[in-house]
Structure 1
Amino acid sequence: MENFRNFHIDGAWVEPSVDDTLDVVNPATEEVIGAIAMGGQADVDAAVAAAKAAFDSFSQTDREERVALLERICDGYAARSAELAATVSAEMGAPMALAAQAQVPSGLAHFRTMLKILADFEFETDLGTSLLVREPVGVCAFITPWNWPLNQIACKVAPALAAGCTMVLKPSEVAPLNALIFTEILDEAGVPPGVFNLVNGAGPVVGAALASHPDVDMVSFTGSTRAGVEVARNAAPTVKRVAQELGGKSANIILDDADFGRAVSRGVFAVCNNTGQSCNAPTRMLVPHSRMDEAAEIAAAAAGKVVVGAPGAEGTTIGPAVSDVQFDRIQRLIERGIEEGARLATGGPGRPEGLERGYYVRPTVFSHVNNEMVVAREEIFGPVLVLIGYEDDDDAVRIANDTLYGLAGYVSAGDRERGRAVARRIRSGQVNLNGARPDFRVPFGGYKQSGNGREWGRHGLEEFLEVKAILGYHEGAK
C-alpha cells in the first residue's frame, strides 16, 4: 500500500510533519506486516483547517448530492470488500469468515442504512409560526478502535456525510491499514477535498489534539471508558459536543423457563465471537442458583466446540487477541479469577495446545462467580465468560444492573412476555431478547460509564445535527 506512511489531508496524500513510525503487527504470527506514520499537532492543525474550510460549501449541499455521494461510496466499498477483509484479518487476527461475513459487511451496512434514512429525513419542520431547522454540527473528530474497525469508522462517517459535516479521522494505530483503504474509497467516490481527512497517531498525541482543538465542533470516540474520560477532559475547555461509545460488562439473563441448552450455548458463542473483543459481548451469564452446575456443564461443552486457530485456516472459529498487550491483560484477569475462587469450568491461562506463536487465548468459562469478583466487574475483552447465580427475576435484574456499565443486556425466556418485562428493567442502551439478530436501524450506545449519545440509524444521524429555531418565519398562526 503506497500511501501507508502518508496522511490524507485536503484531498491529497501528504507526508507527516514528524519522522515517527509504528510497526503494524499480525497477531497470528507476531510478524511486522507494515508501518504507519505517527502524526503530531501540526498534522492535526492542517487536517482541521482543511475540514473547517470545506464546511461552508459541503454543509450547503442538498439531499440529492449527498445521496449520490453515499451511493458512490457504497459501490466503491463493495468493489474492494475482499481486499478489506484480507487486511482486517491480517492486522487484527479476525478469521477470514468473520472478516468477510461480518467485519467488512457491517461497514457497508451503515452506509446503505444511512442512504435509506437520508432519502426522507425531515431537516425542516414547521411549528406554529416558527421553523425548526436541523443543520450539520460542523467539523467532527473521530477516534475509532481496532476491534470492529470498519464498523466503527462507517457508523460515524456515514451519518456525518449525510448530515453535511466535515471530519478528521484518527483510526486505531493497532489496526490502521483498513482505514487507509477506506480513505481511498472515499477519495475515488468524489468526496470533496477537506470533507474527509485522515491522520494516524497515538491517542495521547493525535487523539488529544483533536479532542481539544478549538476548531473541532464535535468529537465522537469509541474505546475504553478510561480513554473516554480523557477525551471528555480534553474536550471540556472548548465546550464541544462529545459522543462516546465506551466499555461494557453486559449481563445475559437466562430465565428458568428458557431452553437452557440452546440459550447457554448461544451465550458462550456470543462471548467468544471476535475472540471476545466486542464491547457488547454478554460476558456475565446469570443463571438460577439451582441450575449453576447444569449451566456450567453446558457452557464448558459449548466452549469446547470453539476452534481457536490461524485466521486463514479452514474451520477456525476465533483467531488471536489483537496484540501482546491485550493477550497479557486477558491472562492476568484469568489468573485473577482463579485467585478469587471462581471455579474454572474450562479453559484457563496460557495458549491453546499446539499454538505456540501468536496471541491465542483459551476460551474460558468460570462458574460459581459472585458479582463482586474482579472478573465480574472488569471488562476483560477476551473469550472469558463468568456464570453468576441468582434467586429470582428481581435478583437477576438487580445483579444485571449492579455494574458501572450499561451498553447492552441479554435475556432468554420461554415466556416472551416474561422476557419482555425483564428486558424493560435492564438499564442499558440495547437489550437482546432470545437471540435477536443485529439491526443497523436501531440506536447503539450506552447508559452510565458505557458512554453517551447514540450511533446507528436515525439516532446516529441526529447526533450530527444542531437544531435551530427561526421564530416568526411564517406569517400568522398555523
Structure 2
Amino acid sequence: MLQRTDFYIDGAWMAPLGPDHIEVVNPATEQVVGVVAQGTAADVDLAVAAARRAFETYGQSTVDDRVALLSAVIDGYTARLDEIAATISAEMGAPITFARQAQAASLIGQFARAIETLRKYELEAPLSGSVTVRREPIGVAGLITAWNWPLNLIAGKLAYALAAGCTVVLKPSEVAPLSAMLLAEVIHEAAVPAGVFNLVNGDGATVGQSISAHPDIDMISFTGSTRAGILIAKTAADSVKRVHQELGGKSANIILPDADHATTVAAGVRRAFKNSGQSCQAPTRMLVHRSRYAEALEHARTTAESIRYGDPADPATEMGPVVSALQFERVQAVIRSGIEQGARVVTGGLGRPEDVETGWFVRPTIFGDVDNSMTIAREEIFGPVLPIIPYDSEDEAVAIANDTRYGLANYIQSADRAHALTLVPRLRSGRVYVNTVDATETAPFGGYKQSGNGREEGEFGLEEYLETKAVITG
C-alpha cells in the first residue's frame, strides 16, 4: 500500500495542514491500496504562494532551460515506467499491458511533443516595421485533472505549462492520485526548481474550489465532467482568469454502407470499450445504415463477447473494471434506462459478468433498436456500453451525430475516403477521425459546444499557457 500523506510544495514534501485523509481503492479487488491527505484551502494558499515566487525566475527562463527540464523529467520517468504502470493499474483498474503501453507511456509522448513544439515555436516575431509580438507565459497555472487517464491528462497540461514558462499547482483526481505522487517524486529527482511544480491532493469541493477561486492563479486548465466544468468557470469568473476546459463527449461513429462492416464494426466496439469505456473521445454511438443494421449488430455482438475481461494484473487481460463502486452504479443505472426505454440488449446487460464475484466489472454491453432520444444515446456513460443507431440517409446520419450537447470527436468509416471527407465540414466536433479509430498526440485536442473550450497538444496546447504582448517602437 502506498501511503503518501504529504504534499509537494516549494520543492519539498510538506505535511498537510488538515487532519483528513482519502483512501484509494483498487476497483478489481475492492481493497484499499493507498492513502493520501485531503488538502485544505490553506494548503492551496501555500502552493500558490510558492508558484508565484518561482514564476519570477522561471517565467524568465530560456527555451534551452525548459527543454533541459522537460528532458530530465522524461529520463527519470522512463526509469520508473513499470512501477508507475503498476500503480495506475492498481488505482483505477487498467489492465497491466494497457497501463504500461498506453496509460503510463503516454506521458513520455506528451513531454517529447512539448519539447519538439517549444523548439520550433516563435516566441518573438516582427509583425510590422514598428511592431514586434512577444508570447510570454501567462503565470501560475492551476491544473485539475480526472481519473480515467490519470497521468496522460496531467501530462497534456503540465508539459505545455512548463514549456511555456508557467509555474503549476496541480490537483490530481482524488479517485486515482497515487501515480501523480510518483510523478512528483520524479520531478523532485529531476531537480526542477522549487515552486515550479506543486501538488495538493483533495476533492473538488475543497481543493478544486480553492484553486479555481484563487486570485493569484492566472489560469485554470480542467479535464472532467461538463457539470464540474460549469462550476469551475463560474468560480473562476470573479478573478477574470483564463479557463481552459476539456469536458465530456458522446462521439458518433458513422459507418457508411460501403465500409467493410466486419472490420469497422469490430474496431469501433473495441475502441469504445478500451479503458473499460472510460474515455471522453471514444466512439460511444455507432451509426449504421439500416440496410446493414442486422449485420452490424451481429459483428458487434461477437466482438463484445470476445473481449477478455478479468484480473488487471494478467498481461492477457483486455478490459478491467470501471473505476469505483459509484461509477459501477452509474453505469448500471444507464443500462437499466436503456432497457426501460425500449432498447434491445444484444449482449451484456445488468450486473457483473456471471464468472466475476469481486470488483466493479461491467458486462460488455451492446444495445440495438436505439433511438437518439434515449438516455443511452445522449449521456456520457463512461463504461463498456455501446448503443447502435440505424439511419436511412447520410443527411440523417449527420443530423444524429450533431444532435448532442457535446462536440469532442466524431468518426467516419467508408471505402471511399474522398467521399467521407465531404462529410467532415458538416460535423460539429473538435476532431473527426476518417477511416481510423486510433487516437493521436499530434493533432489539437478539444471540443465544440459543451465539450469545452481551448485545445491541448502541439502548438495549440502551448498557446493556451501564453499571453500576447505587442511591443511598439518609435
AA partner of residue 43 (structure 2): D
1:321 aligns with 2:322: yes
Q: CA shift at 1:438, angstroms?
A: 2.6
Q: CA shift at 1:439, angstroms?
A: 2.4
Q: CA shift at 1:314, angstroms?
A: 4.1
Q: Deviations over 1:225-281 (max 9, x none)?
A: 001011101101111000000000000000011111101111000011000000011
1:202 aligns with 2:199: no
Runs of 4+ aligned structure 1 residues displaced above 4 Å come to none
2:450 aligned counterpart, secondary structure: helix
1:173 aligns with 2:174: yes
Residue in 2 that maps onto 1:312: 313
Match runs of 1:56-455 below 5 Å: 56-128=56-128, 129-435=130-436, 437-455=438-456
AA partner of residue 427 (structure 1): R
Residue in 2 that maps onto 1:50: 50
Quickly say closer, same or farther: Cα 1:110–1:314, change in 2 above 3 A.
closer
Residue in 2 that maps onto 1:471: 472
Aligned residues: 473
1:194 aligned counterpart, secondary structure: coil
Q: Distance in 1 between matches of 2:148 and 2:172?
A: 11
Q: CA shift at 1:2, angstroms?
A: 7.3
Q: Distance in 2 between matches of 1:439 and 1:27?
A: 28
Q: Distance in 2 between matches of 1:413 and 1:149?
A: 34
Cα RMSD (Å): 1.0
Q: Distance in 1 between matches of 2:34 and 2:164?
A: 35
Q: TM-score, normalised by structure 1?
A: 0.98
Q: CA shift at 1:292, angstroms?
A: 1.6
Q: Distance in 2 between matches of 1:266 and 1:120?
A: 35
Q: CA shift at 1:127, angstroms?
A: 1.0
Are the equivalent residues in 2 in contact too, given 1:170–1:198 (CA < 8 A)? yes
Q: Distance in 2 between matches of 1:279 and 1:2?
A: 28
Q: Distance in 2 between matches of 1:440 and 1:293?
A: 35
Q: CA shift at 1:121, angstroms?
A: 1.1
**Which blocks of at least 5 consecutive residues in structure 1 are unaligned?**
none
1:134 aligned counterpart, secondary structure: strand
Q: CA shift at 1:67, angstroms?
A: 0.8
AA partner of residue 251 (structure 1): A
2:68 aligned counterpart, secondary structure: helix
2:439 aligned counterpart, secondary structure: coil
Are the equivalent residues in 2 in contact too, given 1:292–1:367 (CA < 8 A)? no
Quickly say closer, same or farther: Cα 1:448–1:306, change in 2 above 3 A.
same
Are the equivalent residues in 2 in contact too, given 1:3–1:13 (CA < 8 A)? no
Q: CA shift at 1:312, angstroms?
A: 1.1
Q: Distance in 2 between matches of 1:308 and 1:2?
A: 26
Q: CA shift at 1:316, angstroms?
A: 1.2
Q: CA shift at 1:118, angstroms?
A: 1.2
Q: Deviations over 1:385-423 (max 9, x none)?
A: 001111111111111000000001111010001111112
Q: CA shift at 1:119, angstroms?
A: 1.3
Residue in 2 that maps onto 1:41: 41
Q: CA shift at 1:437, angstroms?
A: 3.2
1:443 aligned counterpart, secondary structure: coil
2:407 aligned counterpart, secondary structure: coil
Residue in 2 that maps onto 1:26: 26
Are the equivalent residues in 2 in contact too, given 1:308–1:352 (CA < 8 A)? no
1:35 aligned counterpart, secondary structure: strand
Are the equivalent residues in 1 in contact too, given 2:142–2:220 (CA < 8 A)? yes
Q: CA shift at 1:361, angstroms?
A: 0.4
- Larger mean CA deviation between 420-429 and 238-247 belongs to 420-429
Percentage identity across paired residues of the two chains: 55
AA partner of residue 284 (structure 1): R
Q: CA shift at 1:21, angstroms?
A: 0.4
**Which blocks of at least 5 consecutive residues in structure 2 are unaligned?**
none
Quickly say closer, same or farther: Cα 1:328–1:436, change in 2 above 3 A.
closer
Q: TM-score, normalised by structure 2?
A: 0.99
Are the equivalent residues in 1 in contact too, given 2:145–2:222 (CA < 8 A)? yes
AA partner of residue 395 (structure 2): D
AA partner of residue 101 (structure 2): Q
Quickly say closer, same or farther: Cα 1:91–1:445, change in 2 above 3 A.
same
2:368 aligned counterpart, secondary structure: strand
Q: Distance in 2 between matches of 1:84 and 1:409?
A: 31
